[in-house]
Each structure stands twice: as C-alpha cells, then as structure tokens.
Amino acid sequence: MIERLDESLPDIGVTPQTAQILAPGPKSVALLSDLYDEPDWMRQARHEAWQQYEAMDLPDPKEEAWRRTDLKAYPLDSLRVVLSARELDGIYDLPPCWDYALAPVDQVSGALVHCNGARTYAIMRRDDALSGVILEDLHIALKTHGDLIRGTWMRGATTRPGFNKFTALNAALWHGGTFIHVPAGVRVARPLQSLVALDAEGGTNLHHTLIIAEPGSRVTLIQDRVSQDSQPELNAEVVEIYAGAGAWVRYVSLQHWSEHRYSVTVQEARVAENANFVWVAGSLGGKMTKDFLRSDLVAEGARSMMAGFSFVHSDQHLDQSTYQHHRAPNTHSDLLYRNILKDQTRTVFYGMIRVEPEASGNTMAYQANNNLLLSDARAHAIPGLEILANDVRCSHGATVSRIDDEERFYLEARGLPKPEAQSLIAQGFIRPIIERMPLAHIRQRVEDEIAERFWL
C-alpha cells in the first residue's frame, strides 16, 4: 500500500560530515539558487527579496503588532543557513524524540520530513499518488510544478517579502519547504503529515510551506515543528495556503521549538468561493514567538474556523496576531484561541476582524480569546473590529481566568491531589480545541506532552 517514491536528493555536494554554513548575504542567496538549480524567476525573486531585506528596518516597536514583543531579545546576529543532506533509510532512523511526532504510516496518506532544511524522508500512499496528490519538498516541486508555484508565490497580504524583515528574509533565503498540491475534485483519503526538525546544528529555520488545494478538493495537513537547540536560534517561517472554490482544507500547525528558539512566523490562507478552511494551531515551545495568522475570505460563501491552543511555562513569551478578513458577502469566520499560562510567562493576543464594504449581507464573524492563569503570569488580549459593511453579525470577547475553586474542590474530594486536580482542569480548558485535531495519535501526543509539562 505504501511505497517510497523517488527520494533522490538534489546533489548539493554536502554530507552530514561536510555540512556547509551560509552567512546571510547576496552570495548565499545566489548560491541557494545554484545548488537547487532554480528557475530564473525564483533566482530573481530571491534576489529582489534580499534587496528588500537589506533596505528594510526591523519592525517599529511603536507599531501595534510589535508593541509587546521586544525584538532586541532576538538572536538576529546568529543568522545562518545550514546546508546538510541527510537521507534516512526509514522513518525509524529518526531520533526517538522526533519519531513519536509522526503518526503511524498506515494512518496517513503521506508524510514528509525535513531535518535541518533537507528533505530526509518522504512517503506517499499509492492511491493518493495516483490521484495526483503531491506532498513534496518545495525545492523538488519547483522543477515539477514551477509554473503553479510561480503563479501564487508570496502574493498574500502578509505572506509577501515586503510585509516585514522576516518575510523578506524567508523569501530571499528560504531553505527546505513543504509543497502540497491537490488536483480539482480529489479528496485525500487520510491526513498528510509534515515534520520540520532541527537538531543542535540546525541553525536558522527558513522553511516555506505552500498548500494549493484546487476547487472541490479535500485535504488535511498536520505540520509539526521540533528543535534541539544548543544556543539561541531564529525561526523565520512562511506558510501560504490556497483553498480553491468549494475546497475543504484543514491545516493543523504545531510547534514544539526548544527553549532557545525565537520565532516569527507568517501564515495566511486565501479561501475562495464556498470553500472551507479549518485551522488548528498549537504552540508549546519557543523562547519568544510571534505569529501572524490570517484568513482571507475572498469570495461569497467562504468559511474559516480558526482555533488555537497554547501551554507556556517557565519564561516563555508567546505573541499572536490574528486577522479575519471578510471581502465578500455570506462569509463566515470563527476564531477560538485558548492559552494556558504557567510560571512567569506572558502571552499577547491581538485579534482583528475586518469586514469590507463589499462583504455586506449575511456575513458573520466571531472571535474569542480565553486565558487560564496558573500563576502570576500575564495575558494581554486586544480584540479589534473594523466593520465597514451593513448586515453583518460580529462578536468578540476575551477572558482571563484562574482555576475555579469549586471545580478544584470537587476533584480533590474525589481523591486527586491539588496539582493533579489543577492539571486536569487546565487540560480540560484546551480540550475542545485538541478535539478538533485529527488522529488519536496526534491528540494523545499533545495531551501527554501537556500533562508532562505540568510537572516541570
């Protein structure tokens, strides 16, 4: 049933023993294009993006989106692209701590693993492959689906080189990428899985993900990120999602960065007529993380459901800017983000709903951000509404709460010690979101990890 497709890596002349480290600069930009034998348009796009990167300042801390996350703490000097080719003989060659991130192969339609930016493992279920479903390294896909990629490449409102210095950096030096293409009308039988892993020599993560679901197709991607960093490292990641007319697309985005990783990610979904987009985002790791998460409902009948959970502990700092953009009538968006804060953590949620004049008529937008504090942590929630249309139903709300004493007493009265009672209640707080993730293996893994963290 499962077969390994062609796993030949582009010959970039490096091995694990001779991994090359590229410093950021115009030479490195050109070298990446050389190594991957990229088409001229990509060479040009990288070059222009590098020029933009050099010309741009870091985001202004006075800007609303950056007011509460101090980029001075980011290890911007340690920027480096690590080129290493590591081919695995099988999924069981993965380090055990990463292996469990992957669901059993018979439960997925395909899986793709990147280690330190290099494609290290790929499988695809035969039936899905025969239907034309592609899950492949973006460097390879540039050769097979170059025109398709070119047609959409970094044209989003946020997923464009000029959005900020980090998207420019990704556009110029992206290295390692996940590409998905689902032909019109094709339903991918089981979830696809992508694992982006970096070990102690991983360097900056500049992964780029592009999902193109053609009209009437159906696909789920579970994308997970793990790292083992020995020093402060940067993550500058971009995710672009296109849900064609009538498509159903689910993107489960998980991150388990090490406590040394500082991240800026920009993720945007463009949802076409009568398409459904389901987003589940789970953030567990990282020292400081800033996410821009945006769904654009561009045509009538588009729907998006964004859900997120996080559990931060120690001195983690998590900052999320979400954007629900309505550009057509009869569009519905719903957002539910829940954070659990332990120890001296801080979270920022900046949620915007914008309804354009042309979205008048049966448009609905909801947004809720709930924070559960287990300590003297701080949660900031700043909801925003920009409604320029009539006949629109909108609501938003944010809450900050602590564990309810009566709930805790009830559990304690049934024999659970206080910390266990608290852990159970806190896990219950985010369970409605965890339940939106497919595959029991993935849900269980996340729940176990959260339970484990409770005792740290």
Partner 1 sequence: MALEIRDLHVAVEGKEILKGVNLVVERGATNALMGPNGSGKSTLSYTLMGHPKYEITRGKILLDGASLIEMTPDQRARHGLFLAMQYPVAVSGVTLYSFLHAATSAVRGYGERTPTATRGRLNSHLMPMREFRQELNEKMAFMEMDPAFLQRYLNEGFSGGEKKRAEILQMALLKPKIAILDETDSGLDIDALRLVSEGINTLQKDLNMGLLVITHYQRILNYIHPDVVHVFVDGRIVKTGDAKLVDVLEEQGYEWVRQGMG
Using CB under 8 A as the criterion, which residues of the chain lie in contact with partner 1 when the complex forms? 404-407, 409-418, 420-421, 423-425, 427-432, 448-449, 451-455
- Which residue number, 387 or 411, has a Cβ lying nearer to partner 1? 411
**Contact indicator for 279, 333 with CB cutoff of 8 Å:** no
- Which residue number, 157 or 424, has a Cβ lying nearer to partner 1? 424
Residues in the chain: 456
Rounded Cα–Cα distance for residues 375 and 342 (Å)? 6
CB 440, min distance to partner 1, A: 13
CB 259, min distance to partner 1, A: 18
Residues 6+ apart with CB under 8 A from 339: 309, 310, 311, 312, 318, 347, 349, 369, 370, 371, 372, 379
- Which residue number, 155 or 409, has a Cβ lying nearer to partner 1? 409
CB 99, min distance to partner 1, A: 15
**Contact indicator for 231, 261 with CB cutoff of 8 Å:** no
- Which residue number, 378 or 431, has a Cβ lying nearer to partner 1? 431
- Which residue number, 192 or 372, has a Cβ lying nearer to partner 1? 372
Rounded Cα–Cα distance for residues 200 and 99 (Å)? 17
Q: How big is the CA angle at 330 (ends 327 and 333), to the nearest 5 degrees?
A: 70
Q: Per the structure block, which two tokens stand in for 365?
A: 């937008």
- Which residue number, 92 or 455, has a Cβ lying nearer to partner 1? 455
CB 413, min distance to partner 1, A: 5
CB 289, min distance to partner 1, A: 23
CB 378, min distance to partner 1, A: 23
- Which residue number, 105 or 411, has a Cβ lying nearer to partner 1? 411
CB 372, min distance to partner 1, A: 10
Neighbours of 59 (CB within 10 A): 17
CB 414, min distance to partner 1, A: 4
Rounded Cα–Cα distance for residues 305 and 334 (Å)? 5
Identity of residue 171: A
Cβ-in-10-Å burial (0-12, 13-18, 19+) of 13 comes to exposed
**Contact indicator for 406, 367 with CB cutoff of 8 Å:** no
- Which residue number, 90 or 428, has a Cβ lying nearer to partner 1? 428
Rounded Cα–Cα distance for residues 48 and 172 (Å)? 8
